[in-house]
Amino acid sequence: MKILVPLKRVADPDNANKVKVPADGSKVDTAGLEWKANPFDEYALETALRLTEDGKAQKKRLGEIVVVTFGPKDTEATLRAALATGADRAIRVETDDDHIDGIIVAKALAKIVAEEKPDLVMLGKQQVDGDTNQVGQILAELLDWPMATFAGTVQEEDGGLLVGREVDGGQLDVRVKLPALVTVDLRVVNPTSVYSKVTDKSKFKYAEGVRFAPLPAIMKARKKPLAVKNLGDLVEDTALRVKYLRYEAPPERAAGVRVPDVDALVDKLKNEAKVL
Amino acid sequence: MGNVLVLAEVAEGKLRKTTHSAVTFARDAAAQLGGTYDILVIGAGVDGPAAEAAKLGAQKVLVADDASLENYLAETYAPTVAEVGKGYQVVVGTASPFGKDLLARVAGKLDAGYASDIVSLLPQENGKLTYKRPIYAGNAFVICQLESPVEIVSVRQSAFDPAAEGDGAAATEKVAVVGPSSALDRVSWVTFNSVKSERPELTEADVVIAGGRALKEQFYDILNPLADEFSAAIGASRAACDAGYCAPDLQIGQTGKIVAPGLYIAVGISGAIQHLAGMKSSKVIVAINKDEEAPIYQITDYGLVADLFKAVPEFTDKVKAARA
Ligand SMILES: Cc1cc2nc3c(=O)[nH]c(=O)nc-3n(C[C@H](O)[C@H](O)[C@H](O)COP(=O)(O)OP(=O)(O)OC[C@H]3O[C@@H](n4cnc5c(N)ncnc54)[C@H](O)[C@@H]3O)c2cc1C
Ligand SMILES: Nc1ncnc2c1ncn2[C@@H]1O[C@H](COP(=O)(O)O)[C@@H](O)[C@H]1O
């Protein structure tokens, strides 16, 4: 199976409360925050790796994974990290975050899909900085491919996938035939969430979470192919459909008080907050 | 002048309350545009939900009813929503899993800009609708506009009060169901494993009791009695969901459900950034955690540093007594 995995870098999401919006609202300042791969995209890559291996013999790769990102030269670090983790090839589309939106990214990806002809596109359900949640769905529509968004489980079958989607009120199972598109949710990296056809489900469990690249792989990844493309060569219409005018800081919420015991808590809720 | 189309959400033969928040947006947007709003109810056998929708002040309720729409798939719904939607300036739904899945696909079909999960509609700027949406897990907002003939919007349910039912009933009108895209040949609906709960919906409850990793297998044993006392919804942190102590759709946070109840009680939850993003607009926030340094205390009104396994049962009893 050949899988295309789009990866986006984000400002360290575990410190997102440190972003600053200057008084003129001109930007979100992420100075001091390290770049990290969007966690959902790491999960998408992990899912792609699980689908292209026998869990019990992971050294032998049974498919091809191509990773792609949109950004300036230094976003190649994100791609190299993915190559070290097990992806085979990388593509960077030269651009910057201020000049793309979900439609543009999806259109460029559609063009890359036409060139690369993957069996599967595997994305994160959402970038955790822009919190937009749309590229996968738009891309599936542009390709006229079936999609399964918010995947919590993925089981490979003959010619397709059985996907458990996390939705309101439970899990919705859908079956997609390849080529298809999947966006992943958090639970997809649980130990028994993803199985390729050749991994014996009754005998094998993954470690929780995503795998890490061993040191030698990081060295080797420097030699894996990384192609650079221009956005303008992939998309004709690069006019933004979503225009960001300015930014605002959220209202502060002040910390309240500590109560010494349960009685004090009940008293506060009853007599001060008046919610009892 | 411009008109607005609301995408209604139907579950188990009823109109979901998510719809009412989108209607509130539509009413305001239509007023700004000097137009009206219609509601599209789509599914199989949806006369019931259409009748409910007719009470929500719309000009018309459009009904796309067909046996092929019995089980939701974006591939079967999107063509009809796009076909109907292209006659409007704005198509709006709610940012529930249904809305997020479908509206983005509709945006792709219409080559339209899509503003997801907006928290308010601002006064127009330069004669254009202007939206505010949270980014960076709610640590910043962006003010944005959409540059396409049709604008696609999803609203954050907790940020828009549900529209109330009125006395009148809007006219209903059948609309043609557009055949599905060819993608449909390669996707099939298999089954829905529903996790039934008698409790109020998380996004609609006045009181939410949320549990974290600390509860372990006793998640429900500890929380149920307290939730009963408040007629509350039960929610959870990611860690509790991942560990299987409760269902994934109880997850509150940046990447789960966003809630803003009158009272939020966090039990054994540390208060990671991603969790806070989903609950920090709650009116009164209480936390019970044994670690006095837990970040959750940075936003709580009342913090109790205690072992939850002792404190929660005691709290439950004393709430009961205080109300008696
Ligand atoms: C991409 C991504 C998205 C995410 N999205 C979300 C999201 O939407 N929602 C979400 O919640 N998280 C989300 N997370 C996870 C988040 O970062 C935290 O890991 C998670 O919220 C932690 O859950 P927790 O507070 O239950 O567990 P922990 O952080 O382990 O906290 C457990 C707490 O319980 C306390 N405790 C332990 N024993 C007791 C006791 N006996 N009595 C009282 N207190 C006790 C501890 O002091 C501790 O504070 C996301 C993470 C990523 C990477
Ligand atoms: N700039 C980008 N570069 C690479 N992948 C992206 C980019 N933007 C979005 N994606 C992909 O689309 C997914 C959903 O993002 P979004 O719809 O923007 O929230 C992400 O998890 C990525 O897989």
Q: Is the model's pLDDT at B258 over the cut of 90? A: yes
Q: What is the pLDDT of residue B181?
A: 78
As a whole number, the mean pLDDT across chain B is: 97
Q: In B94-249, which residue ranges form alpha helices assigned H by DSSP? A: 97-110, 219-230, 238-242
Segment B250-254 shows an average pLDDT of 98
Contact B130, B144 (CB under 8 A): yes
Q: Do B104 and A136 count as a contact with CB atoms less than 8 A apart?
A: yes
pLDDT at B1: 79
- CA atoms within 13 Å, Cβ hemisphere of B182: 4
For ligand 2, say whether the CB of A105 is within 6 Å of any of its atoms. yes
Cβ contact B122:B153 at 8 Å: no
Q: Is B55 helix (H, G, I), strand (E, B) or coil?
A: coil
**Is residue B217 predicted with pLDDT exceeding 90?**
yes
Q: Considering only CB atoms, which chain B residues are within 8 Å of A19?
A: 136, 139-140
Strand-pair category, A120-124 with A2-6 = parallel
What predicted TM-score, i.e. pTM, was given to this entire model? 0.98
- ipTM confidence score: 0.98
**A39, A53, A50: which is closest to A193 by C-alpha?**
A50
Tell me: pLDDT of B196 over 90: no
User: Are the C-beta atoms of residues A269 and B286 closer than 8 Å to each other?
Assistant: yes
Whether the pLDDT of residue B184 is over 90: the answer is: no
Q: Which residues of A91-119 are buried (b: 16+ CB within 10 A; e: fewer)?
A: bbbebebeebbbbbbbbbbbbbbeebebb
Give me the residues of A, 41-100, that contact B with CB < 8 A.
none
Strands B171-174 and B4-7: unpaired
**Residue partners of A238: CB distance under 8 A and separation at least 6:** A99, A104, A231, A232
Inter-chain Cβ pairs, chain A and chain B, closer than 8 A: 286
* Beta carbons within 10 angstroms of residue B235's beta carbon: 33
d(CA A206, CA A198): 14
The pLDDT score that the predictor gives to residue B237 is 98
Q: Which of A19, A21, A275 sits opposite B262 (nearest CB)?
A: A275
What distances in angstroms separate CA B116 from CA A161, A162, A239, B134, B176, one per listed residue? 28, 28, 19, 9, 27
pLDDT score of A188? 98
Handedness of CA A50, A52, A55, A61 (dihedral sign): negative
- How many contiguous H segments (helices) and E segments (strands) does chain B have? 8, 18
Provide the pLDDT for residue A126: 98
Alpha-carbon span B38 to B40, nearest angstrom = 7
pLDDT means per 10 residues, chain A with 276 residues, are 98 97 97 97 98 96 97 97 98 93 98 98 98 98 97 98 97 98 98 98 97 92 97 96 97 92 98 96
**Predicted local distance difference test score (pLDDT) of residue A19:** 98
**Least confident piece of the model among A73-82, B32-41, B176-185:** B176-185
* pLDDT score recorded for residue A97: 85
Q: How far is Cα A41 from Cα A32, in angstroms, rounded to an integer?
A: 22
Distance B240 CA to ligand 1 centre (A): 8
Categorize the per-residue pLDDT at B182 as very low, low, confident or very high, splitting at 50, 70 and 90.
confident
Whether the Cβ atoms of residue B112 and residue B75 lie closer than 8 Å to each other: no
pLDDT at A254: 86
pLDDT tens digit string along B145-161?
Answer: 999 999 999 999 999 99
- What pLDDT, on the 0 to 100 scale, is given for residue A163? 98
